[in-house]
Chains A and B, each alone.
Chain A
C-alpha cells in the first residue's frame, strides 16, 4: 500500500501529527523527569555529601573529612533552586553535567550503560517475539483448543514467576548442567542469550496472549471467511489477510512492554552482573548521585517516548486508516 498516490497528502499530515505529539511529550518528560527526580533527591533524608562520599570512597575510606571535601567540591551548600536552575540551564545545552560520585560525564556513563541495556532489552524483545508469535498464532488458530489452554496456563505461570528465579533456573540448566552458555558478565554475544531469555520469557508470557487474541479475532472475522470463499487458500488467507490485521494490536503492545522491561532490567542486570542502566540507576539513587539519576531517568523517559513514536509510525504503516 506504500505505492498509493492519492493517500499521500493525509498520510503525511497524520505522520507529522504523530511526530509533533510525541515531540511535545518528550519535552514534557524532560522537564517532569528533571524536576521530579531533583525534588525527590532533595527530599531524601540525611546529608547528601555523606552519601556521595560513601559512594566514592567505599566504607573503608569514607569519613566526615571526605564528606566535607565532597560538599565543597559539588557546591551542595548552595540553595536547591540554584542547583536545579543550573541543571536545567545545562540541559538546555544538552549537557547533563558530571556524575557526583565518579566525576565522569553523565552523558558518557549513560551512553555506555544504555548500549548494554538496549542490547539486553532488544534481545529480550526479539526472544519474546520469537516465542510469542508462533505460540500465539498456533493458539489463536484454534481458540479453546489444546494449544490454547496449555499456552494460557504456561503464560500465567511465567508471568507469575519472579525474573531472578527464572534466571537462576536457566543458568542452572544451560550454564551449569549443560555448559552451553556462560553464567554472567558480558564478553560475547552468547552472554546475551540467558539474560535476554529470562526477560523474554516474561514478556512472551503476556505478548503471546496478545498475539493469540488478535489472531483469534481475525480468524473469526467475516472477511477471513470471505477471502476463503472467494477462492484463496487457507495459507494465503492467513499470510495476506490474517497476519496483517492481527499484527496491529501486537505491535501496539510492544509499547506497553516498556514498563515491564525497565523493571525486569534492574533485576536481571544484578543477577547476571550486566553493566546496564537499571543497575546503575539503583546505585545512583542510593549514592545520591543526583546528576546520574536525572540523566538516567531522562534517558529512560526519552527512550520510552521514542519507542512509542516508532510504534505509532509502524501502526500507521500497517493501518492506513488514519485514525
Chain B
C-alpha cells in the first residue's frame, strides 16, 4: 500500500512541474463565451471571431464592408437581385473545394435558421456560375451587411451531418480546429493553404471561462495571452500588473431599459422621461461598470459615428424634475412614500438576467433610485427568454438588457427589428411611430448618403424624446493583452479577435 502512496505523491510532484512554458508561436485566448456546438446558427460568433469560418462579406473595424469569400457584389437596377461573385481556388480545411453550390446551401440553411438572414426580405438564394444570387421581395440595401454576420459564415459541406446540422468545425478561415472540447476549449493551428495572407502565429487555443475572476487570474498568471471582457474590478487590478496591458474600447452595445409603452402607467412619453430622469447614470457608470464616460446621453454611442447625434440634448439625471413630471400625470404620494393614482400604487416589475453580471447589480441600483421618486420596483432575475416571452404575451412591464446595435456592420438590420412597425422583442413595445418606421425603411432601401443621414436624425430625435427604450450605459469592450503581443486589434464590432494579424515581438 505505502508504495502506492509513494507512487501517487511522485506523480503529483511530476505533474506540478511549471505550467506549459509559452511556446514562441502560440497564443491563448480566454473569453466568457462558450462554444457549445459546431452550428454557426448557435456558435457563429466564436467561430467567426476565431477565424475558423468566413463570410462572403467581411468588414473592417470601422464597419466598412470589404470582400470576404465574395470578391465583389452588385445589385440589379430594381434592387431586387443581388449577385455575389465568389473567390476562386478557396479550399476548406478538409481539402474540399469552396464553390457556389455549397455556399448557397450554407446560406439557405442560415436563412431557414433563426438569425439576421431570416429577417431579410429574401425570396430565394441560388447558386450560379461562380456566383450566389439572392432574389428579394423588395429592395434591401444592407443585404451585404447581413452576409457579414456571424450566423452567415460558410461551413464545409463535409461538416454537415445526416440531419443537415453542421457537426464539425470546418471552414475556410486562416485557422483550423485540431481539438474541440465543448463547451470550454478549442485548439487551433494555422491553415497552411489559406487563400489570404498567412497569419504570423502558428497555433492558438481558446478557453471559455465563465467567471470573470477566473479570466482575470488567467491574464495575471500569464496562462492566457489575450483575455476579453474583464469585470470592472479585475480590469482596474490588471492595470497595475506590468506584464499585462489593458485596453477598453467603446462598442455599439448599449445597456437599455425596454419599456412597455402600452402599460397604463407608461403610455405617456412624460412618464418614460420621468423614469429616465430618475436614473443616476453617472453613479452607475462610476460605481458599477466603472467607466464614467460610459454614461449614455442618447441611445447611439459615439462609436456608431453616423447614428450618434451630437446635436441632441443629452439625457439628464434629475429626480426632482422626474417627480414633477409624474405629479403632472396625476400621481400623488401615498402613505408609504410610493406614488398612487386613482387607487393604483405605482409598482412595476423589471425583468433581467444574470448572464451579464452587471445587469442584476444595475437592476438593484434602479430599484433604489426609483424608490426615491416613489416607484416601487420589483426585480425578477431569470432566464433572458422571459423578455421576448413577456413581449409576446404583453405581460412585460420593464426589462433591462444589453443590446448590440452592430450585430451587422450596419445597425439598420437590428434597428428595423427593434423600432420598425410593431416594435421588436429586444426593442420598442406597444410603441408605434410611423415617422420612425418610414425613416428606417428608407435607410434600409437606399444607399444615398444624404437621404440616409436625414432619416437617421429623424430616428434618433424621436427615440430621444419618446424613449421607447431608455438607454443607460454605453458598453466598453475590455481586454488584457500579454506584453510582447503585437498588433492586437480590439474590434469594436466584435467580429474578430484579430488572430491572423497578431504576432509575438522578437
Contacts and interface: CB of A to CB of B under 8 A. Distances in A.
Question: Do any CB atoms of chain A lie under 8 A from CB atoms of chain B in the complex?
Answer: yes
Interface in A113-164: 116, 126-127, 129-130, 133-134
Interface stretch (B17-25, B48-56, B370-378): B17-25
Nearest to B164: A103
A53 B389 CA distance: 11
10 contacts: A47-B385, A57-B114, A57-B115, A59-B353, A59-B401, A62-B388, A101-B37, A103-B37, A103-B42, A180-B17
B209 interface: yes
A275 B388 CA distance: 30
Interface string A43-68: 00011001101101111111111110
A192 interface: yes
Interface residues of A, number: 62
Given A171-B217, A179-B18, A57 B12 contact: no
Interface stretch (B61-69, B182-190, B289-297): B182-190
Nearest to B208: A273
Contact of A175 (B30, B116, B217): B217
Contact of A176 (B165, B205, B217): B217
A53 B151 CA distance: 15
A107 B134 CA distance: 39
Interface of B: 1, 5, 8-9, 12, 15-20, 30, 36-37, 39, 41-42, 45, 113-116, 118, 151, 163, 165, 167, 181-185, 187, 205, 207-211, 213-214, 217-218, 220-223, 353, 355, 383-386, 388-389, 391-392, 401, 403-404, 407, 417, 424-426
B15 A192 contact: yes
Given A61-B114, A67-B385, A273-B209, A56 B16 contact: no
Given A53-B114, A63-B114, A63-B426, A273 B165 contact: no
Q: Which 3 A-B pairs have the closest CB atoms?
A: A66-B114, A50-B385, A54-B385
A112 interface: yes
A64 to B, nearest CB: 5
Interface string A204-225: 0000000000000000000000
Nearest to B115: A61
A183 B388 contact: no
Contacts of B5: 130, 133-134
Interface in A269-310: 270-275, 280, 283, 286
A241 B207 CA distance: 50
Given A57-B114, A280-B183, A183 B218 contact: yes
Contacts of B210: 270, 273
A187 B20 contact: yes
B184 A185 contact: yes
A59 B384 contact: yes
A69 interface: yes
Interface in A152-202: 168, 171-172, 174-176, 179-190, 192-193
A96 to B, nearest CB: 16
Contact of A185 (B167, B183, B185): B185
A59 B355 contact: yes
Nearest to B384: A59
A103 B223 contact: no
A104 interface: yes
A176 B214 contact: no
A104 B167 contact: yes
Given A102-B36, A112-B182, A270-B210, A190 B388 contact: no
A19 interface: no
A60 B388 CA distance: 11
A254 interface: no
Contacts of A102: 36-37, 39, 42, 182
A126 B118 CA distance: 52
Contact of A182 (B41, B223, B355, B385): B223
A181 B20 CA distance: 9
Given A179-B221, A184-B209, 14 more contacts: A50-B385, A64-B425, A65-B118, A103-B163, A112-B181, A179-B18, A179-B19, A180-B17, A181-B16, A182-B19, A185-B184, A185-B185, A186-B184, A273-B208
B113 to A, nearest CB: 8
A243 B1 contact: yes
Given A54-B384, A185-B209, A192-B15, A69 B217 contact: no
B185 A275 contact: yes
A62 B20 contact: no
Nearest to B206: A185
B114 A193 contact: no
Contacts of B184: 185-186, 273-275
A183 B218 CA distance: 6
B391 A64 contact: yes
Contacts of B222: 179
Given A63-B425, A103-B37, A56 B386 contact: no
B214 A275 contact: no
A163 to B, nearest CB: 13
A190 B15 contact: yes
| Residue of B39, B220, B223, B386 with highest tally of chain A CB at under 10 A | B223
B403 to A, nearest CB: 8
Contacts of A56: 41-42, 114
Given A57-B115, A186-B181, A273 B207 contact: yes
Contacts of A180: 16-19
A273 B36 contact: no
Nearest to B219: A183
Contact of B114 (A65, A168, A273): A65
Contact of B8 (A69, A109, A126, A168): A126
A188 B16 CA distance: 11
A63 B424 contact: yes
A21 B118 CA distance: 55
A189 B9 contact: no
Contact of A62 (B17, B114, B163): B114
A193 B388 CA distance: 43
Contact of A184 (B45, B114, B223, B386): B223
Nearest to B426: A63
Interface in A247-274: 270-274
B114 A130 contact: no
Contacts of A65: 114, 118
Contacts of A126: 8
Contact of B20 (A60, A112, A188): A188
A301 to B, nearest CB: 23
Interface string A92-110: 0000000001111000010
